[in-house]
Chains A and B, each alone.
Chain A
Amino acid sequence: NAGVTQTPKFRVLKTGQSMTLLCAQDMNHEYMYWYRQDPGMGLRLIHYSVGEGTTAKGEVPDGYNVSRLKKQNFLLGLESAAPSQTSVYFCASRPLANEQFFGPGTRLTVL
């Protein structure tokens, strides 16, 4: 099992550009999450999904959109990137029990 994978690992964008981050899990987990990690601020939840076809807002959803068309994939979109969205993005998944499994992260820089 690959666990939770994230694509890409690194990306540099210019202000106003758009991009999609892909998270994939092969553990048949119901729940999937997108977090951002900034220095001194821990991990903050952006959006999450409790199952295929569902999404919900977390703590810091503004400027992001998500989709969960397939159970194994959770996509995070930035329609018009801003420098404030420079961060490390982590995806996580979990089964109905509580443990979350995290991906390796995507480092995004917006110039």
Chain B
Amino acid sequence: GENVEQHPSTLSVQEGDSAVIKCTYSDSASNYFPWYKQELGKGPQLIIDIRSNVGEKKDQRIAVTLNKTAKHFSLHITETQPEDSAVYFCAASPSNTGNQFYFGTGTSLTVIP
């Protein structure tokens, strides 16, 4: 099955700086890559996603890039704010399973005011 690795496990940045979280996947059949934000005591919430026919997607301060050849994708948060502090998860969904999602192990982001 698919194997998703996520780095780093913890990340601290100063408010206003950028944060980058990287994930790799193993199954070339994966074609959908969502990113989730999880605040303490809550369920994960989708913040951005990208499909395999697109190399980059941006939504205000958040962007995701995908390199299918290298099988890696990254989350970029610019102008970080204290409310960005949370745990972030990447995931991959192979087209041949159709319905399953494989998650990375999470990155705990702390934005220091």
Residues of A in contact with B (beta carbons under 8 Å apart): 4, 31, 33, 35, 40-45, 48, 50, 56, 58-59, 90, 92, 98-105
Q: Are B89 and A43 in contact (CB under 8 A)?
A: yes
Q: Are B45 and A102 in contact (CB under 8 A)?
A: yes
Q: Is the C-beta of B96 less than 8 angstroms from some C-beta in chain A? A: no
Set of chain A residues within 8 Å of B101, measured between Cβ atoms: 33, 45, 100
The chain B residue with its CB closest to the CB of A9 is B41
Give the bracket for the number of chain B residues in contact with chain A. 20 to 34
Given A98-B93, A100-B101 in contact, is the A42-B43 Cβ separation under 8 Å? no
Name the segment of B55-63, B67-75, B103-111 touching the other chain: B103-111
Q: Are A42 and B46 in contact (CB under 8 A)?
A: no
Set of chain B residues within 8 Å of A58, measured between Cβ atoms: 100
Residue among B6, B46, B89 with most chain A CB within 10 A: B46
Given A42-B105, A98-B49, A105-B42 in contact, is the A59-B99 Cβ separation under 8 Å? no
> Interface digits, B86-102 against A, CB 8 Å rule (1 contact, 0 not)?
00010101000001111
Given A40-B105, A105-B42 in contact, is the A99-B89 Cβ separation under 8 Å? no
**Seed contacts A48-B99, A50-B99, A104-B42; 11 additional CB < 8 Å A-B pairs:** A41-B105, A42-B103, A42-B105, A43-B89, A98-B32, A98-B93, A99-B34, A100-B34, A100-B46, A103-B43, A105-B41
